[in-house]
Amino acid sequence: MMRIGVDIGGTFTDFVFHEAESGRVKMWKTPTTSPDPSTGVIQGFLAALGDSPNVLQQVSQIIHGTTIGANTILERKGAVTLLITTRGFRDVLEIQRQRRPNLYDMMQDKPRSLVPRNNVKEATERISSNGEILIPISEDEILQLSALIKEQGFESVAISFLHAYANPIHEQSVRRLLSEQLEGLPISLSSEISPKYREYERTNTTVANAYILPRVQRYLRSLRADLESRGYGAALFVMQSNGGTTTAAVAEDAPVRIIESGPAAGVIAAAHMAGAAGLGDVISFDMGGTTAKVSLIERGIPASTDEFEIDRRDLVPESGLPLSIPATDLIEIGAGGGSIARVSLGTIIVGPESTGADPGPVCYGRQAQFGTVTDADLVLGYLNPDYFLGGEMGLDAEGARTVLAEKVGQPLGLTVEQAAWGVHEVVDANMALAMREATIRRGHDPRDLTIVAFGGAGPIHACHLAKELGVPRVLIPLNAGVNSALGLLIAGARFDLVQTFVTVLDELSPEQLNRIYGEMTCTAGDLLEESHGGTPTFERSADMRYSGQGYEVTVPLPDGAADETTVKEMRTNFEAVYKERYGFQNAEAPIEVVNWRLLALGETPQIRLERQVAEREGTALARTGSRPAYFPEQGGYVDCPIYDWYRLGEGNQIDGPAIVEARETSALVLPGDRAVVDTFGNLLVHLR
């Protein structure tokens, strides 16, 4: 039987077909279709497997990564959403937080909320922070709101009441009343989407879920119907932002959890590849057609966060919309093969705008108006115009030269080669900033790391980035062009549950602790069962702080039933974590527990990749010829050897300058560097 990973990017849709018995992997890439990306998914299946009525009958599992949720927010193309909140809290989305991206800029704008103020309505109700009902819900008000929803044509509703994390009864009552009046109306509750304290973050997360829910739901249901019509009889799985998979049916109810779906899969694959290669800590570097994503992987574990920002401005913290959900910690910028190059104020600017899949770069031959990074890489000789997508898509080299000369070279008085190299350098500088943000700014020395480079454009730019940062090695997987799709097949089911219950540690009873985790374990077990996650494992932790502090540290908790020794162990663990983080501890201050966390993990799929056969003759048989490629360290264009990646075997060595070509990508080895082929056909480049 076959398992398939499908990752939709802004420019291309990637496929990996894996046969479990043989370990054979087939890779495929097709342009992403807009506005309905599911069309490209079906087209890719038919092109790769054949256009027969039941082409998917022998497929046991399809796992999908999609950016439809993120794109809906970035493009502001979501549903017309109504937010219902507690009376007196109508402006929570407008007030946001007092933090500012630039402390001294008094004219800066806050992130634009997804729901305008006139689409926020108040309800008379009040619940205390300990869950006590202070003011009962007014059913008459809710019935009036149902008439308003119908009259004004709201497509989705978000409900976020004060302290609903402590007692969700009012939110549940409003959903019941609205559902009775408006059958089929999508309704998102904060007590289910993000049951944590901090009103702005919880409300914004719930609003984001409601905003994207109708579009994601339509997309997933349409895709499932198309797959079933072609013989697919199993459940469709979707990658979540936290690096775990779930079924499409579960994702439809909480689509905010799949905002960073595809990028998370790439990090999972990078961690797997690094582990197989015996590497230590690495930087995951994913450069596709639209964006570049960077993430740190320590001891084989991708960095994670409990809150991330979407729609950030220029990598500046506090400049985006916060989403209070568990996610792989990624830094994402608008730097990809389709990023538009232009001149502004006498300098070259690249991105964040992208040409996308249609029309794409000028070299695609689709009447595009702007030069891109891909056009520059083609002019520099790094891409083969006759072997793009394995030769299925020819590239217009003359068109790329013309547009770069017109849009970049002539305004600056540069030759077309200088213009192309300038575009290449600028986009590399942008990505280097993202890598510094992920490493140096977080206390990690890039010189101790290895870059794992993938995505269609990543292997071309990785070695230049490594030299810029002083990174000594770059690992480029054989499947680099579709690495995120492979990551979908490696990931297992995963759910991160959290519940706010604020208590002083000394007042916590074992009964309370057992009740909290009993309920969370039951919920997690149901989610894993729905997601076919197999035998689950659970990990407990809690967010703890000294009383009076505004923020917390996450502390591991002991497993099993709680007893009198559990509280003592929690104190010991907290003091150890706090001292490691801040260098001191306060033995006399009371300790508070704020959030209780449960990580539920399903069984991880065991994926076996086919090993490559060593070529005793060395690299000679893999060399297919040469072509001019631009290397400024050697004075410009040089006659650069070209190698067929699929004919390289374990132990083969390639000295730079060289270009190694595969169907989905090309890897650039710089002068003086050496690439060694490992057991699985991956390139490990040692920098000079």
Look up the CATH number of the domain holding residue 538.
3.30.1490
- In angstroms, the CA 625 to CA 548 distance is 69
Judge if 669 and 574 occupy the same domain. Answer: no
- In angstroms, the CA 503 to CA 240 distance is 31
SS3 147: helix
- In angstroms, the CA 265 to CA 328 distance is 9
Structure tokens at 435: 């890598």
Question: Model confidence at 636, in pLDDT bands (50, 70, 90)?
Answer: very high
**Cβ atoms of 267 and 352 closer than 8 Å:** no
**Cβ atoms of 636 and 655 closer than 8 Å:** no
**Residue 469 lies inside a defined structural domain of this protein:** no
Model confidence over 80-111: pLDDT tens digits? 999 999 999 999 999 888 777 777 777 777 78
Report the pLDDT averaged over residues 122-130: 93
Q: Give the pLDDT of residue 488.
A: 93
Judge if 140 and 201 occupy the same domain. Answer: yes
**Residue 674 lies inside a defined structural domain of this protein:** yes
**Residue 657 lies inside a defined structural domain of this protein:** yes
**Cβ atoms of 428 and 332 closer than 8 Å:** no
Residue 638 φ then ψ, to 5°: -130, 160
Model confidence over 319-370: pLDDT tens digits? 788 999 999 988 888 888 889 999 998 999 998 888 877 788 999 988 888 9
Report the pLDDT averaged over residues 61-84: 89
- In angstroms, the CA 684 to CA 474 distance is 6
Residue that finishes a domain, picked among 196, 225, 259: 259
- In angstroms, the CA 677 to CA 653 distance is 6
Judge if 631 and 587 occupy the same domain. Answer: no
Q: How many CB atoms lie within 10 A of CB 426?
A: 21
Judge if 534 and 632 occupy the same domain. Answer: no
125, pLDDT greater than 90: yes
**Residue 220 lies inside a defined structural domain of this protein:** yes
- In angstroms, the CA 241 to CA 235 distance is 19
Q: Give the pLDDT of residue 550.
A: 86
Contacts of 351 (CB under 8 A, 6+ apart): 333, 334, 335, 336, 339, 340, 427, 430
Tell me, what amino acid is at 120?
V
SS3 380: coil
Q: How many CB atoms lie within 10 A of CB 396?
A: 19
Q: Give the pLDDT of residue 661.
A: 95
Q: Give the pLDDT of residue 269.
A: 92
- In angstroms, the CA 158 to CA 79 distance is 11
Of 6-10, 80-84, 219-223, 417-421, least confident by mean pLDDT is 6-10
**What percentage of the chain has pLDDT greater than the value 90?**
59
Question: Model confidence at 609, in pLDDT bands (50, 70, 90)?
Answer: low
Model confidence over 540-553: pLDDT tens digits? 999 999 998 888 99
Say what the pTM is: 0.89
Structure tokens at 626: 């040469």
Instruction: Characterize the bridge pairing of strands 591-601 and 494-504.
Output: antiparallel
- 508 dihedral zone (left: phi>0; alpha: psi -120 to 50; beta): beta
Judge if 629 and 558 occupy the same domain. Answer: no
Instruction: Find the domain containing 97 and state its range.
Output: 69-259
Average pLDDT, the chain: 90
Report the pLDDT averaged over residues 162-172: 95
Q: Give the pLDDT of residue 612.
A: 56
Tell me, what amino acid is at 111?
P
**Cβ atoms of 201 and 322 closer than 8 Å:** yes
Report the pLDDT averaged over residues 117-125: 95
**Cβ atoms of 34 and 45 closer than 8 Å:** no
**Dihedral angle over CA of 347, 352, 353, 356, nearest 10:** 130
Minimal CA–CA distance to 190: which of 173, 203, 208? 203
Instruction: Characterize the bridge pairing of strands 666-669 and 658-661.
Output: antiparallel
Q: Give the pLDDT of residue 315.
A: 63
Residue 402, CA distances (Å) to 337, 385, 399 in order: 18, 15, 5
Q: Give the pLDDT of residue 598.
A: 93
Judge if 231 and 85 occupy the same domain. Answer: yes
Question: Model confidence at 621, in pLDDT bands (50, 70, 90)?
Answer: confident
Question: Model confidence at 615, in pLDDT bands (50, 70, 90)?
Answer: low
Contacts of 118 (CB under 8 A, 6+ apart): none
Judge if 131 and 212 occupy the same domain. Answer: yes
Q: How many CB atoms lie within 10 A of CB 223?
A: 23
- In angstroms, the CA 38 to CA 36 distance is 6
**Residue 542 lies inside a defined structural domain of this protein:** yes
Judge if 680 and 592 occupy the same domain. Answer: no
Judge if 218 and 151 occupy the same domain. Answer: yes
Judge if 253 and 135 occupy the same domain. Answer: yes
**Residue 30 lies inside a defined structural domain of this protein:** no
Residue 599, CA distances (Å) to 111, 183, 306, 362, 496 in order: 31, 34, 12, 47, 5
- In angstroms, the CA 127 to CA 7 distance is 43
Q: Give the pLDDT of residue 641.
A: 96
Residue 64, CA distances (Å) to 5, 524, 636 in order: 6, 22, 43
Burial class (CB in 10 A: 0-12, 13-18, 19+), 143: middle
- In angstroms, the CA 508 to CA 529 distance is 31
Report the pLDDT averaged over residues 465-479: 94
**What percentage of the chain has pLDDT greater than the value 70?**
98
Q: Give the pLDDT of residue 618.
A: 67
- In angstroms, the CA 248 to CA 216 distance is 10
Tell me, what amino acid is at 266?
G
Instruction: Characterize the bridge pairing of strands 327-328 and 282-287.
Output: unpaired
Residue 247, CA distances (Å) to 43, 407, 432, 528, 529 in order: 22, 46, 36, 10, 10
Instruction: Characterize the bridge pairing of strands 450-454 and 282-287.
Output: parallel
Question: Model confidence at 617, in pLDDT bands (50, 70, 90)?
Answer: low
Model confidence over 573-584: pLDDT tens digits? 999 999 988 888
Residue 581, CA distances (Å) to 42, 284, 574 in order: 49, 25, 11
Question: Model confidence at 533, in pLDDT bands (50, 70, 90)?
Answer: confident
Residue that finishes a domain, picked among 259, 293, 313: 259
- In angstroms, the CA 665 to CA 682 distance is 13
63, pLDDT greater than 60: yes
Judge if 504 and 646 occupy the same domain. Answer: no
Q: Give the pLDDT of residue 290.
A: 83
Report the pLDDT averaged over residues 551-556: 92
Residue showing tokens 């899969």: 265
446, pLDDT greater than 90: yes
Domain count, the chain: 3
Helices 397-404 and 416-438, axial angle in degrees (round to 10): 80
Judge if 636 and 589 occupy the same domain. Answer: no
Residue that finishes a domain, picked among 238, 259, 280: 259
Top-confidence residue, 158 or 581:
158
Q: Give the pLDDT of residue 167.
A: 94
Structure tokens at 315: 């990598």
Q: Give the pLDDT of residue 95.
A: 87
Tell me, what amino acid is at 177?
L
- In angstroms, the CA 479 to CA 457 distance is 13
Report the pLDDT averaged over residues 144-148: 93
Contacts of 495 (CB under 8 A, 6+ apart): 242, 244, 246, 524, 527, 528, 531, 599, 600
Helix segments in 256-407, DSSP class H: 261-276, 373-379, 397-404
- Rounded to a whole number of angstroms, the distance between the first and last alpha carbons of the chain is 44
